[in-house]
Structure 1
Amino acid sequence: MSQAISHRALQPEYRLLVFLVSIGFFMQALDTTIVNTAIPAMAKHLHEDPLNMHSVVVAYVLAVAACIPLSGWLADRFGVRNTYLAAIIIFTLASLGCGLSQSLNQLLVFRIIQGIGGALLLPVGRLAMLKLIPRDQFLSAMSLMSLAGLIGPLIGPTLGGWLVEVATWHWIFLINLPMGVLGILVTLKALPNATEPSVQAFDFSGFLWLVIAMVGLSLGIESFASTAHSHWQGLALIGLGLFSSAIYAYHAHTHQNALFRSRLFKNNIYAIGILGNFFARLGGNAFPFLLPLMLQVAFHFEPFITGLMMIPLVLGSLVSKPIVRPVIQRFGYRTVLVVNTILVGSALASFALTTADTPLWLRTLHFFICGMLNSTQFVAMNTFTLKDLSQQNASSGNSFLSMIMMLSMSIGVALAGTLINLFTAHYGVAQVTTAFQMTFICLGAINIITAAIFWKIPKNSSI
């Protein structure tokens, strides 16, 4: 009986709420991917080097990572409707600002603001569903909502490439405006303003140390890519990031109201999962940014064709999802994560073998397999990391994992951009293909080394 209750179909009165959260999820997922194929066109219009445009991605993802810890507290303090409405308004207006930007600096400012809105959309939307939808219908609601997150990456790169060719790059941001207006109207109609009766004071000092740590590490790595900054400046920023991380670690241990208490990391499974997630995602999150850039800058593919070439990646990701759980049940987390981490690293390094003349069928198969391996890695890492958390630590543990995922993407893209520029400076602009190939080898090597972290997983660890 309980089995039947836990899988009840979603009742009609909750469908509009799920549709609303799906709008936010779709906008956020679309915006994370749609930019990648448009970067060379943006660089040309803004008179910038396309190899220095990774900051457009880093600014957005870093802002998302920094503001994730705020989301739950804001929703509890001001209500889910008010917070979600503010998030959509911020995201929509920032999208308009991005679309009207006339310089890289203007674009970066609006990308940061857009990231602040994007950081609140998914966590607050998921929280609204958790508070308002009965538990026996929650699984159905999450399944429907997750479709929006799959559609965004599926159409994002192709839509971005098509818009660049038929219009201008500005439209990859302006396309958010009608969705944003629709989201605002549905929020006012479908979302009650559920609040918590008592909310703890927000840990602003801890939040500040976390933000300084994330910004210092990301910008420190990114600054090595620019000739305008000295290496000492980059090292100073990285040092500041590490110092702030250490301060926060002490704060988390001693402060009763810390955002993420140190007791989280007394759980050995969680600690291994967080460390593995951070390093394994550096390459896995960078290559959806690197691939479109290589196809256009090094191989001279058109933006729309480049976008189409990204579809096998997403299809590979979709195909892998149903098989991950049975594979883990059969072989256990340790074997799956160690082997798959090495395979993902090898797949990343294998892009060094691809050229402009690689046959289409082989390139499609290559991308499809990489998408399968990358998705298997992410699903296995996430479920492993959270599987043994107590109910008491589940919320903060999940938030910290979300933050680490976005921080790793930010640092991964910054690292990829830095490596491309360093190798381009070494080999010369005429050898830009070699620069991309060496970057993929480096990212693949980092992934393969990360397998040592997952080797620490207990042998009997399974679902």
Structure 2
Amino acid sequence: MIEDKSKLDDVMDSEAISESSHCATSNHARLIPMIVAVPMFLQSLDTSILGTALQSIASSLHVEILHLNFAITAYLLSLALFLPASGWLADRFGTRKVFCSAVAIFSLASAFCGAATSITQVVLFRIFQGLGGAMMVPVGRLILLRSIPPAQLVVAMVWFTVPGSIGRVVGPLLGGLIVTLTSWRWIFLLNVPFGVLGILLSLKFVPDSRSEKVDRFDFRGFVLMAIALSGVVFGLETAGHTFVPLTVTIVVTGLGLAAAVAYVIHSRDRVDVIIPLKIFGYKAFRAATVGGIPVRLAVGSAPVFIPVLLQVGLGFTPVQAGLMGAWLAIGAFCVRPIMRHAIHAFGFKPILIVATALTGTTFACYGLFTPNTSIYFMFVVLFIAGIANALGMISMNTMGFLGVPQNLMSKATALSTMMQQTSISFGVALCTSCLTVTAHVHGHSAERLTFRDFPATFFIVGALSLLSIVAFAQLKDEEDAEMR
């Protein structure tokens, strides 16, 4: 009897420990993702607010509104330069230390942007800001992947995207209120307190990790990769603009492409390089990064060009544009509670195909917006687009790292972020070039955009984004089932 009671007590204690462990893991899968997602919040807030305030900044600095595109993408150019080193730095100095340093650099650069008095200064400080951003997101994602068990990864990724969604929800409205009630400079200054909060929470709750064996820093590969990425991004951003001679664009782009070829030769069949290209050998990673490029063109350019369409094309005030843009983020936020169940029920492949189809269709629908379009139609389109964006981005960001071994995880996160940011840069550059060409076809400069100049841009990019369906359709059903 006593022995039976003892066994019963042992079972109950074991169940209590198991339940406690499950609760701890569950809390772990929520707390850490939300803390390391502070950079996502800062970047989302920065991008969504900046899009709403472009017209105000252009007026204040006396520049053409499309020239501010270079200020936005100077950040992306800086990301391209420094992203390749983020994985090595995290392995060498520890994830928490690098993460906190990156948030500090980003916040300080934001303060400098808020004090800028010319477009040149804004561009320079945005480059400094990109140095911090290049380490924030990939290292934050690496912390997540190393500290969360695979079984909890979908839940963690959902929570990882929550702060970014909040940033996109409050960003457009906050940006409209800021430029209406005070100076656009507060758009950048707001990043500082959030950055300090992120650093304090990270120091208290985020675990530190580093690799026991760190390869020698691949300086040659870093230089080649940086030249390749920055050359291509520079070419994308300056093509079709008059402020950079065409010959300069061609030469720099050609230099970037030559460096890319040199890096492929340098890194062939090697794992000790700054970014091993063998990571593309993992099919899920390749599908999520390379296959996801077309759909990211639309997702990445929407936060910039929807506010421009609403304000410049349709005559909305900054506050009105902010309220409209918030529906995109509200749709994205609403889908998050069902993501885990949706992936388990349907799998990655069907969700990615449906999400891409909806993203391309809704992006093309933006081209139907005119001053006479029903406001309710706009609400519905933006809300559905937000749902589609969330379905696609969470699925790609989760699926892409399944199967990648731990010793390559830091470099995989860096490579994934590089591909994502380059896609966004390409999307912004493509939309800008389309708008510039359309304006000239209509007989006026890009300084005097009307709503008639926007449809072609949204139709072209929306159609291109559908190409991702081809890549996602290549995933086999048994592979999808295994990832689930």
Q: Calculate the TM-score normalised by the size of structure 1.
A: 0.88
8 A Cα contact 1:217 1:411, kept in partner: no
Q: Structure 2 matches for 1:345-356, cutoff 5 A?
A: 345-356=360-371
Q: Structure 2 matches for 1:1-12, cutoff 5 A?
A: 4=19, 7-9=22-24
- Secondary structure of the 2:244 match is coil
Find the counterpart in structure 2 of residue 442 from structure 1: 460
For 1:219 and 1:438, how far apart are their aligned partners in 2?
A: 24
What is the CA-CA distance between 1:440 and the residue it aligns to?
0.5
For 1:269 and 1:135, how far apart are their aligned partners in 2?
A: 15
Find the counterpart in structure 2 of residue 413 from structure 1: 428
For 2:284 and 2:145, how far apart are their aligned partners in 1?
A: 26
One-letter code aligned to 1:311: A
2:399 paired with 1:381: no
- Secondary structure of the 2:63 match is coil
For 2:142 and 2:345, how far apart are their aligned partners in 1?
A: 33
What is the CA-CA distance between 1:391 and the residue it aligns to?
4.2
Find the counterpart in structure 2 of residue 452 from structure 1: 470
One-letter code aligned to 1:289: V
8 A Cα contact 2:84 2:415, kept in partner: yes
2:317 paired with 1:302: yes
2:263 paired with 1:263: no
8 A Cα contact 2:49 2:174, kept in partner: yes
2:338 paired with 1:320: no
- The structure having more radius of gyration, on CA atoms, is 2
For 1:324 and 1:15, how far apart are their aligned partners in 2?
A: 14
For 1:377 and 1:15, how far apart are their aligned partners in 2?
A: 21
8 A Cα contact 1:6 1:136, kept in partner: no
1:64-106 C-alpha deviation (Å, 9 max, x unpaired): 3443332232233234454234223311221111011111111
Q: Residues 11 and 230 from structure 1, CA distance in 2 versus in 1: closer, same or farther, beyond 3 angstroms? A: closer
One-letter code aligned to 2:76: V
1:346-383 C-alpha deviation (Å, 9 max, x unpaired): 22112111112222211111110111122222223333
Find the counterpart in structure 2 of residue 245 from structure 1: 260
8 A Cα contact 2:61 2:118, kept in partner: yes
Deviation larger for 135-144 or 310-319: 135-144
Q: Structure 2 matches for 1:116-195, cutoff 5 A?
A: 116-127=131-142, 146-183=161-198, 195=210
8 A Cα contact 1:56 1:111, kept in partner: yes
Find the counterpart in structure 1 of residue 46 from structure 2: 31
For 2:396 and 2:29, how far apart are their aligned partners in 1?
A: 31
For 1:268 and 1:145, how far apart are their aligned partners in 2?
A: 24
Q: Structure 2 matches for 1:81-92, cutoff 5 A?
A: 81-92=96-107
The one of 420, 430, 451 equivalent to 1:433 is 451
8 A Cα contact 1:328 1:336, kept in partner: yes
Find the counterpart in structure 2 of residue 54 from structure 1: 69
What is the CA-CA distance between 1:275 and the residue it aligns to?
1.7
Find the counterpart in structure 2 of residue 397 from structure 1: 412
Q: Residues 185 and 379 from structure 1, CA distance in 2 versus in 1: closer, same or farther, beyond 3 angstroms? A: closer
> What's the % identity of the aligned pairs?
34
One-letter code aligned to 1:147: V
For 2:423 and 2:387, how far apart are their aligned partners in 1?
A: 20
Structure 2: which 5+ residue stretches go unaligned? 1-14
- Secondary structure of the 1:386 match is coil
Find the counterpart in structure 2 of residue 76 from structure 1: 91
For 1:255 and 1:87, how far apart are their aligned partners in 2?
A: 28
Find the counterpart in structure 1 of residue 8 from structure 2: none
The one of 178, 198, 217 equivalent to 2:232 is 217
What is the CA-CA distance between 1:165 and the residue it aligns to?
0.7
- Secondary structure of the 2:400 match is helix
- Secondary structure of the 1:209 match is helix
1:390-433 C-alpha deviation (Å, 9 max, x unpaired): 44444433331122111111121122112111211221346632
8 A Cα contact 2:142 2:409, kept in partner: no
For 1:25 and 1:271, how far apart are their aligned partners in 2?
A: 23
1:298-321 C-alpha deviation (Å, 9 max, x unpaired): 111111111111111111112233
8 A Cα contact 1:161 1:303, kept in partner: yes
What is the CA-CA distance between 1:243 and the residue it aligns to?
2.2
1:249-282 C-alpha deviation (Å, 9 max, x unpaired): 2222144411232322223343233221122211
Q: Residues 219 and 140 from structure 1, CA distance in 2 versus in 1: closer, same or farther, beyond 3 angstroms? A: closer
Q: Aligned residue pairs: how many?
A: 463
Query: RMSD value over aligned CA atoms?
Result: 3.3
Q: Residues 406 and 396 from structure 1, CA distance in 2 versus in 1: closer, same or farther, beyond 3 angstroms? A: same
Find the counterpart in structure 1 of residue 5 from structure 2: none
One-letter code aligned to 1:224: A
Q: Residues 364 and 12 from structure 1, CA distance in 2 versus in 1: closer, same or farther, beyond 3 angstroms? A: closer
Find the counterpart in structure 1 of residue 438 from structure 2: 423
What is the CA-CA distance between 1:39 and the residue it aligns to?
0.8
What is the CA-CA distance between 1:26 and the residue it aligns to?
2.9
For 2:173 and 2:53, how far apart are their aligned partners in 1?
A: 10
- Secondary structure of the 1:168 match is coil
8 A Cα contact 1:282 1:408, kept in partner: yes
2:217 paired with 1:202: yes
Deviation larger for 410-419 or 120-129: 120-129
Q: Structure 2 matches for 1:280-291, cutoff 5 A?
A: 280-291=295-306
One-letter code aligned to 2:360: G
Structure 1: which 5+ residue stretches go unaligned? none
8 A Cα contact 1:333 1:457, kept in partner: no
For 2:454 and 2:106, how far apart are their aligned partners in 1?
A: 33
1:151-200 C-alpha deviation (Å, 9 max, x unpaired): 22221121111111111111101112233344555566667876555422
For 2:392 and 2:303, how far apart are their aligned partners in 1?
A: 15
Q: Residues 146 and 327 from structure 1, CA distance in 2 versus in 1: closer, same or farther, beyond 3 angstroms? A: closer
8 A Cα contact 2:28 2:148, kept in partner: no
What is the CA-CA distance between 1:231 and the residue it aligns to?
3.5
8 A Cα contact 1:34 1:172, kept in partner: yes
One-letter code aligned to 1:359: S
For 2:93 and 2:164, how far apart are their aligned partners in 1?
A: 26
8 A Cα contact 1:62 1:406, kept in partner: no
One-letter code aligned to 1:210: M
